Amino acid sequence: MLNLITNNSFYAILKSMENKIKIGLIGLGTVGSGVYKTLQNFDNIEIAKIAVRNKNKKRNIEGLDENIITDDPYEVVNDPEIQIVTELVGGLEPALDLIKTAIKNGKHIVTANKELLAKHGEELFKFAEANNKVVLYEAAIAGGIPLIMPIKTILAGNKINKIKAILNGTTNYILTKMDTQGASYDEVLKEAQELGYAEADPTGDVEGFDAAYKVTTLATIAFGKRIKIDNVYREGITKIRAEDMQAANEMGYKIKLIASAEMDEDGKADVRVHPMLVPLTQTLAHINYVTNAVSLSGHPVGDVTLSGPGAGEFPTASSVVGDILAIASELGKTDYLLPMMRCHHSENAQMIDISETKNKYYLSITAQNSMGVIGRIGKACEDNNISLASIVQKEVSSGKAAIITVITELCREKDMQKVINILNNDNAITQVNSLIRVQI
């Protein structure tokens, strides 16, 4: 696996430099601490200044020089000696203004800010190019998994047309625990929060925002066209039930939150994040707990899957430091650094609305245990051009309620939604419990 931190050629280049490369860090949390500790191994890199929110916070970092710490991030971006600014605080503001100020002051940028890239990437990259500066962001997509640089270099000769990925460790942990324990979403979420795998407010993760930000930038890079975050369909995991996990297992699937992006033959992009039933024959079905994985399909390479830690102090620091070293190795050698790593997009992708997509579906229905119910479900599907792969009445509860599980053949989302509307208004149907798309 590519390991940018321990690459001997990078280290030799840095050793040969007469002057130290001065780095400014904005943020000294989990990732920032890992970056600081890792950079201590490089004699020709100097962390000149670090901006934090609270200067008085106790930090368990050996050898940390308190004199370089400030609570004013503009001291970092305005320092004339700093050559590379590393932004690790996240969010939109003041991150965007800080980065643009640093670029205007002649500094190159390394960031792990997925939200900023998804929402303001076009503005940021254009501004950087106008000022002949580089913005690198390997850590913003999949933590410690080398991804952006391989796509832009090793895989540059490929036409990538499909991405299927698990890009959020929190949701993958929750779904794995629900699967292995047979527990409810609420039970596992509470456990994940107690263990520190989920935030006190987990919305960004469990509602799919984090994965949507990441796949937006990833698809933009892979497809060579800008993907607009506003056009990315997003659905979280909060409605997934323990019963769905059991049913998926019985049918040969695992439920995962999948970040998906495809480019069709007409150049239209389908980019979305939502739960999926993933067949056990697929690699992503076996990616568990906090591990991330990205499967790419393209020509001529075929199918490639990269997996590893998607977050954490040192895995993410690995990607951040790799970007820092990539920039540092070019400083003083050329007036136009890292041309292959720069943004070269000139057009926006035409997006396919979720209603026009074609999918297979898993459907769980609670209905009255009366004659003709399964026929009515089948008729609703038939009237809306949906063929059924299977329909099973799994059990009858003591209250005479039937649990019916349906798997459809490939059909349009808008037709499936019509069927859901019909079922919700059918007196024989107690409840549509779940509708989950099935990975093809």
Q: Kindly report the CA angle at 61 between 57 and 326, in degrees rounded to 5?
A: 115
Closest Cα partner for 433 from 363, 361, 336?
363
pLDDT(16) > 50: no
Concatenating the DSSP letter of every residue in 192-245 gives HHHHTSS-SS-HHHHTSHHHHHHHHHHHHHHHTSBPPGGGSEE--STT--HHHH
Q: Which of 389, 412, 363, 395 is nearest to 248 (CA)?
A: 363
Instruction: Indicate if 256 belongs to the active site.
Output: no
Looking at this protein, which amino acid is placed at residue 408?
Answer: T
The pLDDT value recorded for residue 296 is 97
Task: Give the per-residue SS3 of 358-401.
Answer: EEEEEEEEEEECCCCHHHHHHHHHHHCCCCEEEEEEEEECCCCE
Q: Of the residues 107, 164, 214, 225, which is catalytic? A: 214
Q: What's the CATH number of domain 8-144+313-341, 3.40.50.720, 3.30.950.10, 3.40.50.300, 3.30.360.10?
A: 3.40.50.720
Q: What is the pLDDT of residue 399?
A: 66
Q: What is the mean pLDDT of residues 378-396?
A: 91
Q: What pLDDT is attached to residue 398?
A: 62
| β-strands 21-26, 84-87 pairing | parallel
Architecture of domain 354-438 in this structure? 2-Layer Sandwich (3.30)
| pTM score of the predicted model | 0.93
Share of the chain above pLDDT 70, in %: 95
Span 174-187, average pLDDT: 96
Cα separation, 324 vs 35, in Å, equals 10
Q: Which two tokens stand for residue 180?
A: 């292995």
Q: Is it the case that residue 255 has pLDDT exceeding 60?
A: yes
Mean pLDDT, residues 187-205: 93
User: Does the pLDDT of residue 394 top 80, yes or no?
Assistant: no
Residue spans per domain, the chain: 8-144+313-341, 148-309, 354-438
CATH number of 148-309: 3.30.360.10
The rounded mean pLDDT for the chain is 93
Residue 222: how many CB atoms within 10 A of its CB? 26
Q: How far apart are the first and last CA of the chain?
A: 28
pLDDT at 397: 62
The amino acid that residue 101 corresponds to is T
